[in-house]
Amino acid sequence: MSDLDRTFERPDRRVVVTALGINQILAWGSTLYLLGVLGHPIALDTDWSYEAIIGGVSLGLLMASIISPRIGRAIGTKGGKLILSSSAVVLALGLASLGFSQSMAWYLASWLLIGVGMGSGLTDAAFSTLGNIYGESARSAITSLTLFAGFASTICWPLSAYFVEHLGWRGTCFAYAAIQIGVAFPLLLLALPNRPLVGFSHEHIGTSGRASLAAGELPLFVVLAMVLTFSASILSMLGVHLLPILQARGLELSAAVGLGALVGPSQVAARVVEMLGGRYYHPVWTMVASTILVAAGIGMLLSDFPTYSAAISLYGAGNGIGSVARGTLPLALFGPSRYPALIGRLAQPILMSMAVSPFAGAIVFQLGGPSLLLGLLTLIGVINVLLVGLLWTLSGRGLTHFGSN
């Protein structure tokens, strides 16, 4: 235990997780999920192309991926309070700029600013902060946080629709900017500790300021990065194209929407199971279960399995616990001292894949229809299962010890 661990009492995790959870709902709802409601109103009002409007999110994700390694290192040395509270201010400025935008260039520049807020305030920054506060015991806090984040679209899509109906799309941007300043910013300032509570190990930091890895750890880190990146690619690709796939298979829009709605409850249910039982097994098994469930669910869709609900439920459950593994597995494999910096490095390829994958999926869908796209996704899913097997082999020594309450 470090001197910092002994000197400072860790804050009540219920308070910290609740504050971060509310922040994550608002941050995801006003960024990645924003254009799910505002995309068409913006296009109707401005005559900008819908594809370019949606491209703003990808631009924001790319910006987030660029800054994520620096954000992770900053949280590791200074704690998450300054970084996360600043992200709320940056998101507010970006959203306000979005509401004032009068040209496509202005609109895209606003998304670059929003991307800075995304990179310093979304899931990876929150995970890094929890690891920085609770160290090796952060697993249950990370799992609980993902339960909050799972409700982002459920809460913010109806809220966005209400705002658009009464305020218009520009007013919606201003309303979310006000929420960031009036709710997220003070909440984070009050709930998060003023300094890092887990000792930062300078012996693991190279001359470039990056968290260093021993020669034997590098293959493990690379495989982990590949698994998490492929998982993010599947999530972003199928998240955008699931409803068109179901419609192309002959389902009416209402039926497709009803089936698509199963993803959210399946994710949350799987996370609850993980929260209740996760302390009894190493997080690598969570990742194993995630990749198998995702590959099985997509494979059932590819084979035109008659029970689409079962396929989508398996896929949703796999994604649900996959997000938990994304936060807990690096902590278990590499320890708390380097955790924030390594989470930042892992976030870079993940966010890049989330930015690019929907467009790649659209091209594949246009070329070969739903079967080709599902075939590609199934292939990625199977490769990911094999990669997790390799990850399990490489991390075998660490499977005998875990501890995260």
Residue-wise pLDDT tens digits, 239-291: 778 888 888 888 887 788 788 778 888 888 898 888 888 778 888 999 999 99
Q: Give pLDDT, residue 374.
A: 93
Q: Is the pLDDT of residue 397 over 70?
A: no
**Number of Cβ within a 10 Å radius of residue 162:** 13
Distance separating alpha carbons of residues 322 and 143, to the nearest angstrom: 11
Pick the range with the lowest mean pLDDT from 49-58, 186-195, 253-262: 253-262
Q: Is the pLDDT of residue 55 over 80?
A: yes
Give the closest residue to 132 by CA, choosing from 187, 207, 211: 211
User: 65 with 232: CB under 8 angstroms?
Assistant: no
Distance separating alpha carbons of residues 354 and 118, to the nearest angstrom: 13
Q: Give pLDDT, residue 403.
A: 43
Q: Is the pLDDT of residue 297 over 50?
A: yes
Tokens of 263: 């993803």
* Domains of the chain by start residue, with CATH: 10-198 (1.20.1250.20), 211-396 (1.20.1250.20)
- In sequence order, the β-bridge partners of residue 205 are 211
Give the tens place of pLDDT for each residue, 207-251: 444 567 777 788 999 999 999 999 999 988 887 788 888 888 888
Type of residue found at 170: R
Q: Is the pLDDT of residue 203 over 60?
A: no
Q: Is the pLDDT of residue 8 over 80?
A: no
Percent of the chain residues topping a pLDDT of 90: 46
CA–chain centroid gap for 109, Å, is 23
Determine the average pLDDT of the residues in 103-112: 96
* pTM assigned to the model: 0.82
Q: Give pLDDT, residue 198.
A: 60
